[in-house]
C-alpha cells in the first residue's frame, strides 16, 4: 500500500517523535484511509462543512481536534485538489471490472519431468476511473 507523494517511514518517525505510538504499517494504513477521504471529497466537490458532516455521519469517533484539522486542511487546500486536472492526475483510482482465475496442476515441463505443483493464474481487468 503506497500513497504517491507520502513518505510513510518519515511520517511514522515524525509521529513517534511527537509521542504518537504508531508502527509503520499502521501509519501506511492511516495515510491510505486519509487519502481516500480527501479523494472522495475532491471528486464530490463538497465544501469543508459538508465534508465534516459526512465524516461525523459516518462515525462518531472523530475527535473535535481531528475535525478542526481536517476542516482547516480542506479549507486551505481543497480548491487546489478539486480542479479537474488535479483530480485526473493525482487522485484517480482504477476500478476492478473483471477478475478471471484458474487453478491448475503442473505435472511436467520440458525441463522438469515431475513438477506436481498447483498453480493459480489470475487476470485482472481494471478500468481507469476516467473511462466510461
- Domain assignment present for 102: yes
Tell whether the torsion through CA atoms of 62, 64, 66 and 69 is positive or negative: positive
Q: Which three cell numbers stand for residue 49?
A: 462543512
pLDDT digits (tens, 9 = 90+) for 67-123: 999 999 999 888 877 775 455 555 556 677 888 888 887 777 777 766 777 777 888
Asked whether residue 132 is domain-assigned, the answer is no
Q: What is the pLDDT of residues 8-27, one digit of tens each?
A: 889 889 988 999 888 888 98
Asked whether residue 36 falls in the same domain as residue 78, the answer is yes
Strands (E), 8-114: 95-106
The number of folded domains in the chain is 2
Q: Which domain holds residue 123?
A: 95-127
Q: pTM surpassing 0.75?
A: no
Does residue 83 fall inside a structural domain? yes
Amino acid at each position: 500500500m503506497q500513497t504517491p507523494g507520502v513518505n510513510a517511514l518519515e511520517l511514522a518517525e515524525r509521529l513517534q517523535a511527537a509521542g504518537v505510538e504508531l508502527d509503520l504499517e499502521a501509519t501506511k494504513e492511516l495515510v491510505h484511509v486519509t487519502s481516500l477521504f480527501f479523494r472522495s471529497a475532491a471528486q464530490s466537490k463538497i465544501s469543508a462543512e459538508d465534508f465534516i458532516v459526512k465524516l461525523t455521519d459516518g462515525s462518531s469517533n472523530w475527535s473535535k481536534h481531528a475535525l478542526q484539522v481536517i476542516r482547516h486542511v480542506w479549507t486551505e487546500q481543497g480548491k487546489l485538489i478539486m480542479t479537474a486536472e488535479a483530480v485526473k492526475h493525482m487522485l484517480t483510482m482504477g476500478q476492478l471490472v473483471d477478475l478471471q482465475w484458474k487453478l491448475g496442476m503442473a505435472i511436467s515441463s520440458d525441463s522438469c519431468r515431475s513438477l506436481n505443483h498447483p498453480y493459480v493464474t489470475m487476470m485482472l481487468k481494471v478500468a481507469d476511473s476516467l473511462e466510461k
